Chain A
Amino acid sequence: MNDFAELENELRKLRPALPFPILFERVEQALGDCRAGASPAEERRSLVRRWGGLEAAPPWSLFGLGLAAAAVLVLFAVARIDWQHERRETIAKTSSAYETTPVLGGSQNPIVSGKFIPAGATHVVYHARDEGLYFADGSERPVRRVRYQTQQTWQWRNPTTGASLRVSYPTEDVVLIPVSGQ
């Protein structure tokens, strides 16, 4: 059937040249830069699009959900920053012998012996579920309970050796949003 089978076999014996190892490092570097530059929202959208986890929702509800989620995330971020600030102050007070350094305090801050520097952090919300209204104990005002499932990734890099360290873990947060009735 195939007059060229022998020729095809000979061609397959020709081996394309392998890439230089430096190419892998360059691609890794470029991908790292991309991740550090991408916003969590972009990452979330891209993750969802890539694997089809959230195929779609009606556009109008998606728009409303997006606005609500953005507002919640801002509140959540502010609350978290305050909480972390208080926590750092507590640590500083209780451990006077050592100076604590924020994990991602800035690109200039070394982590260990000036070797590793923070290279990026992402917080991807891949699922948000509105669990409805909820009355907290002793409260007459309802709150809306929203549960977020996220993936947090922290990355450090040693500019001298090119070594990198990445920690990634799933988290689940429940946010209570006061509902104002009329």
Chain B
Amino acid sequence: MRTWRRLEVKDREEVMENIASHEDWKSCFSELAPGLLLFARQWVHSAADAEDIVQEAFVKFWRRNHNIDNRPLLYAAVRSIALDFVRRAARRARREAAVFAETESAADPQFELDDDTQSALAAAVDSLPCDQREVLVLKIWSELTFNEIARALGISQNTAASRYRYALSNLKKTLQPQ
């Protein structure tokens, strides 16, 4: 049962503190942007497209004054906008699944690579099925919990965990010396 109450004078300091933090979007964004961009790159080819998607999602999220701690909602917004973007780009795409399948082989996460080992690892990540790759990206580079991943992707927590395990297992197989 929800309780009703009015704002009291004693809440004023709290409200003022929050108004100040409302301006501090840059620190939030600089912390989240690399993970958001990498997540967006699961669906689009270029970094520029990914930046467009992240910008739209973040501005929409911030404008609606959602709590910044609600990261699953932010990632869900990126995913939704990315899928819309792909649908618009692919004129003949009729269903989300079709779009997903079309982009699966083209999505290439962008990393700053130091050596050949990392290149091989990045290539192995690219070769993962999209449903496993998106869970892996959220878990490893955005550090979301399985519960948060489940909320962001609209799947169960168990499904998120099993996709993650499958992703790691597939990576291990791919990287094993022949």
Contacts and interface: CB of A to CB of B under 8 A. Distances in A.
A7 B172 contact: yes
A151 interface: yes
Contact of A149 (B6, B12, B66): B12
Given A8-B168, A34-B63, A47-B19, A23 B33 contact: yes
Interface string B48-60: 0001001100110
Given A20-B51, A31-B62, A50 B122 contact: no
Interface in B87-129: 109-113, 117-118, 121-122, 125
A93 interface: no
A34 B59 contact: yes
Contacts of B4: 55-58
Interface stretch (A10-18, A82-90, A106-114, A132-140): A10-18
A46 B51 contact: no
B29 A126 contact: no
A53 B16 CA distance: 10
Given A11-B140, A19-B51, A31 B37 contact: no
A75 B59 CA distance: 34
A93 B16 CA distance: 39
A51 B18 contact: yes
A51 B110 contact: no
Contacts, number: 134
Nearest to A6: B172
| Binding site secondary structure of chain B | helix
A159 interface: no
A32 B9 CA distance: 30
Size range of the interface on B? 35 or more
Interface string A29-54: 01100100010000000111111011
Most buried by A among B4, B7, B25: B7
B119 to A, nearest CB: 10
A15 B35 CA distance: 10
Contacts of A98: none
B67 interface: yes
Interface in B10-27: 11-12, 14-16, 18-19, 22-23, 25-26
Contacts of B74: none
B168 A7 contact: yes
The 7 closest A-B pairs by CB, nearest first: A50-B65, A16-B38, A46-B65, A4-B168, A51-B18, A16-B34, A17-B110
6 contacts: A11-B136, A17-B37, A24-B30, A28-B26, A48-B7, A127-B9
Interface of A: 4, 7-8, 10-20, 23-24, 26-28, 30-31, 34, 38, 46-51, 53-58, 124, 126-127, 129, 149, 151, 166, 168, 170
Given A7-B175, A48-B7, 15 more contacts: A4-B172, A7-B168, A7-B172, A10-B121, A11-B121, A14-B118, A14-B122, A17-B111, A27-B25, A27-B59, A30-B55, A46-B63, A127-B7, A127-B9, A151-B19
